[in-house]
Structure 1
Amino acid sequence: MLRVLVLSTLFPDASRPRFGSFVERQTLALAERADTELSVIAPRGLPPWPLRTLPRYRALATLPEREEWKSLQVYRPAFLNLPMTGGRFHATALIETLTPMIEEVRSDFPFDIIAAEFFFPDGVAAVELGRRLGVPVSIKARGSDVHHWGRLPRTGAQVRAAGRAADGMLAVSEAMREDMIALGMPGERIEAIITGVDLDRFVPRDRADAKARLGVHGPLVLSVGALIPLKGHDIVLQAVSSMPGVMLCIAGEGPERQHLTDLIAKLGLQDRVRLLGNIPHAELSAWLAAADAMALASEREGLANAWLEALASGTPVVIPEVGGARQVVREAVAGRLVARTPEAFAAGIAEILADPPAPGAVRATVAPFTWAANAERLHAYFAHLVSGHGNGLVSAN
């Protein structure tokens, strides 16, 4: 039996049901295996009192410190998140919080390995905890944890040191693996394992019927992602503004909502653009199946779940060549890789609308990316690290 302790600051809770849903889904798939047991530590970063009473922290501060979440045993310790420090103390604060509780967790659940699901601060803390406990550590790189935290002056050295010290690392794409190597992390300890997609939830539907149910008429473009500059929703907005009759719906929430609302008004798109906010996965699957194309102009990504979910729904994607984009869009039927400009996005979307691929053919491009296949590869990877720990198989230098 393989016992895995998952450490992730990205994990859903009652106040943020979709926060880190990709980590949750991966963990649930691995837990479904008869040869694997898991527990989860999902730390909450909270500021000093009285900032915890602010609306953005209030619900997070009142979460239980331990609960059963969708059949998983989840610990939710709070660590000190000091505002306006650029994250430099996040890992230290997380280690201080986890140190007194980790032995108690291990007495109830004698885990074989710590799997950190984000490089910072999770991975930095995991390396130190693993060293103290004498257990192997894996760190997964997903995107901004390496591209952002790994390059900031205040945190980059911590990220790079954790990568050199970890027993093994995971990357969500081959491109991410190359980026990690470029930062000085040992390539022989990095394995690229593409995430899974729920092929039961995200399925093609009759597109005309799906649109009618959602009150949409004519060509529909969907963009899925948090309303932050990184996702480039303004680029897709400007692209659609040059395409008469095309409707754009954006699923996501975030600090850019007002900016996007103002841009919609400035471009006179109030009747063709909708900001849907955060919507449940069950509803998202309906929107993806209704869309003629999913367009997301991210500045950087590891390998976005939204890409795979769109393709599983039979909907081609229009995306920049970032992260694992080339591993996903391997042929024209899956969509277009375009420059990150409104003109290039408009051209890519127009090509798809002019000659739409069959939804079944689009879906076939992601048929190998099941959660069961993902879990099988993860199990083999973790088991390899456990069996090699202390036997000279993996060097921490």
Structure 2
Amino acid sequence: MKLLTFSTLFPNAEKPNHGIFVETRLRYLLASGKVQSRVVAPVPWFPSAHPRFGRYAGYAKVPAVESRAGIEVQHPRYVLPPKVGMTLAPFLLAQSVKPTVRRIIDAGYDFDLIDAHYFYPDGVAAVMLGRHFNKPVVITARGTDINLIPQYPLPRTQILWAGRRAQGMITVCNALKEEIVGLGIDADRITPLRNGVDLQRFQPVDRATVRAALGMTGFTLLSVGLLEPRKAHDLIIAALPALPDTRLMIAGSGPERARLEALAQQLNVSGRVRFLGALPQTELRNYYGAADAMVLASSREGWANVLLESMACGTPVVASNVWGTPEVVAAPAAGILMAERTPQGVADAVRKLRENYPAHEATRSYAEKFSWDDTTAGQIALFDKILGEFRP
């Protein structure tokens, strides 16, 4: 079976962690030996890599073609105009990549199906491409594309248009399926296939040795994610005055860093907060394994991979009770769900976890139930069914 994997959420040489969950799922799918894929992962066009353009300069540095873990990845550019970009993005995305897709077919890779990730704009653009090239399309919904973007009328209309014309849809949790059904899509056309965790990459470490090497002392929390409002690192920082013996490490980069640093200063907890910046997964494993708990206070999550990554390293989690997270944190060995998304809610959940702290071995054992095997089998079965039914 030949796939064209299509998504703006895919790692590249400049942003190796960007959409890494899409790449990971694809790696396990390819490892089955039943699937081939070429990846088209567009990036916004930007005129220059000059430092004055800040974080946007990175887009200009992304190579046009690269190989990642033996997978060929093409990065065509698409124009995303300011202000009107969100409205026009699906059309501009589809038009920009048509020449790339045509070249892939002409070079001899006449793929069977478009495997698209993220509903808007990617899934909408993928359906446009499917109609143009006469190929079936499967769209995977991952979180914000369904739990936030449909609040805007025009994107909502386009999401419904794509959902009704795609040959299949996948959601990474049951909660997202229910939300799509609520938008007006037939439930029978939606297949929940949760993300797994890379159990080889994320494994327990020698905690005492790694803690000493990383300078961890006392009960230490780890928060992982972009420094942006949705990830709510501020709630965890604001919980520290109620947790006087607790330290916090924050792994991630983003526009909120200065505000978060100022909040830690204001609350007189800056001496107990360490900002680590963005970390590659190879380094992140050590922090997961050495921390006493990983905290995720997000306001929205489809399926938060960081939760399973932490558990796979033997470290329980404290998480907000949103969207697919209760499907991940579903046993005492996994950790605790917050009763409320507030600083007090974080503090209470941390204390509750400490009172009934699970054995690290039990947490790892819980994570081992979430291998990629079932997800891979589910994708292959769905793609086979669609290809058997599709009539060009």
Normalising by structure 2, we get a TM-score of 0.95
Is the Cα contact below 8 Å between 1:7 and 1:42 reproduced in 2?
Answer: yes
What is aligned with 1:394?
Answer: none
Q: Name the residue aligned to 1:377.
A: 378
**Judging changes above 3 Å, is the alpha-carbon distance between structure 1 residues 48 and 89 closer, same or farther for their aligned structure 2 residues?**
farther
| 1:299 and 2:315 are equivalent in the alignment | no
Q: Deviations over 1:58-85 (max 9, x none)?
A: 3322433223222111111100011122
Q: Which segments of structure 1 move beyond 6 Å, counting only runs of 4 or more?
A: 48-53
Residues 261-283 of structure 1: per-residue CA shift (max 9 Å, x gap):
10011011121011111011111
Q: Distance in 2 between matches of 1:204 and 1:145?
A: 33
Whole-Å separation in 2 of the counterparts to 1:4 and 1:12:
18
Q: Hey, what does 2:388 align to over in structure 1? A: 387
Distance in 1 (CA, whole Å) between partners of 2:98 and 2:375 is: 31
8 Å contact kept, 2:220–2:246: yes
Q: What 5-or-longer segments of structure 2 have no aligned partner?
A: none
Alpha-carbon distance, 1:47 to partner: 4.9
Aligned partners of 2:84, 2:111: CA distance in 1, in Å?
33
Distance 2:49 2:286 in 1: 42
Residue type at the aligned position of 2:216: V
- 1:40-61: CA deviations, max 9, x gaps? 0000112578999723333322
Q: CA RMSD in A?
A: 1.8
Q: How far apart, CA to CA, are the structure 1 residues paired with 2:171 and 2:368?
A: 20
User: 296-305 or 31-40: which moved more?
Assistant: 31-40
- What is the alpha-carbon distance in structure 2 between the residues aligned to residue 52 and residue 139 of structure 1? 36
Alpha-carbon distance in 1 for matches of 2:26, 2:286: 25
Residue in 2 that maps onto 1:59: 58
Residue aligned with 2:212, SS: helix
Does residue 1:90 correspond to 2:89, yes or no? yes
AA aligned to 2:23 is: E
Mapped partners of 2:369, 2:378: distance in 1: 12
**1:73 aligned residue:** 72
Q: Which residue in the other structure is 2:266 paired with?
A: 266
The answer to whether the 8 A contact 1:48-1:82 is kept is no
Residues 1-397 of structure 1: pairs in structure 2 closer than 5 A: 2-47=1-46, 54-85=53-84, 87-108=86-107, 109-338=109-338, 339-390=340-391
How far residue 187 of structure 1 moved from its aligned partner, in angstroms, is 1.1
Q: Contact 2:49–2:57 (CA<8 Å) still a contact in 1?
A: no
**Does the Cα contact within 8 Å between 1:45 and 1:79 map onto a contact in 2?**
yes
Structure 1 residues 253, 334: closer, same or farther in 2, change over 3 A? Answer: same
Partners of 1:29 and 1:179 in 2: how far apart? 27
| Counterparts of 1:80 and 1:270, CA distance in 2 | 41
Partner deviation per Cα, 1:347-390 (whole Å, 9 max, x = no partner): 11112223321011112222122134322222222122111212
In structure 2, the CA distance between the partners of 1:248 and 1:62, relative to structure 1 (3 Å rule), is: closer
Distance 1:62 1:249, change over 3 A: closer
What's the CA shift for 1:151?
1.9
Deviation string 1:192-231 (CA, Å, 9 cap, x unpaired) is: 1011111112122343333212111110111111100001
Aligned-pair CA distance for 1:188: 0.7
Note closer, same or farther for the CA distance 1:53–1:42 as it changes in structure 2 (3 Å cut). Answer: farther
Secondary structure (helix, strand or coil) at the match of 1:275 reads strand
Structure 2 vs 1, CA of residues 33 and 333 (structure 1 numbering), >3 Å: closer, same or farther? closer
How far apart are 1:323 and its partner, in Å? Answer: 1.6
Letter in 2 for 1:20: G
Contact persistence 1:292–1:353 (CA under 8 A): no
Q: After alignment, is 299-308 or 183-192 more displaced?
A: 183-192
Looking at structure 2, the residues matched to 32 and 297 of structure 1 have their Cα atoms a distance apart, in angstroms, of 34
Separation in 1, partners of 2:89, 2:186: 24
Partners of 2:329 and 2:99 lie apart in 1 by 46
SS at match of 2:333: helix
Choose 208-217 or 111-120, whichever is displaced more. 208-217
**Identity of aligned pairs, percent?**
38
- What amino acid sits opposite 2:125 in the alignment? A
Match of residue 395 from structure 1: none
CA distance in 2, matches of 1:46, 1:372: 37
Aligned to 1:333, what secondary structure does the other structure show? coil
Q: CA 1:53–1:271 in 2, change beyond 3 Å: closer, same or farther?
A: closer
Aligned AA (2:203): V
Q: CA deviation at 1:333?
A: 2.0
Q: How far, CA to CA, are the matches of 2:327 and 2:143 in structure 1?
A: 15
Retained in 1: the 8 A contact 2:136–2:387?
A: yes
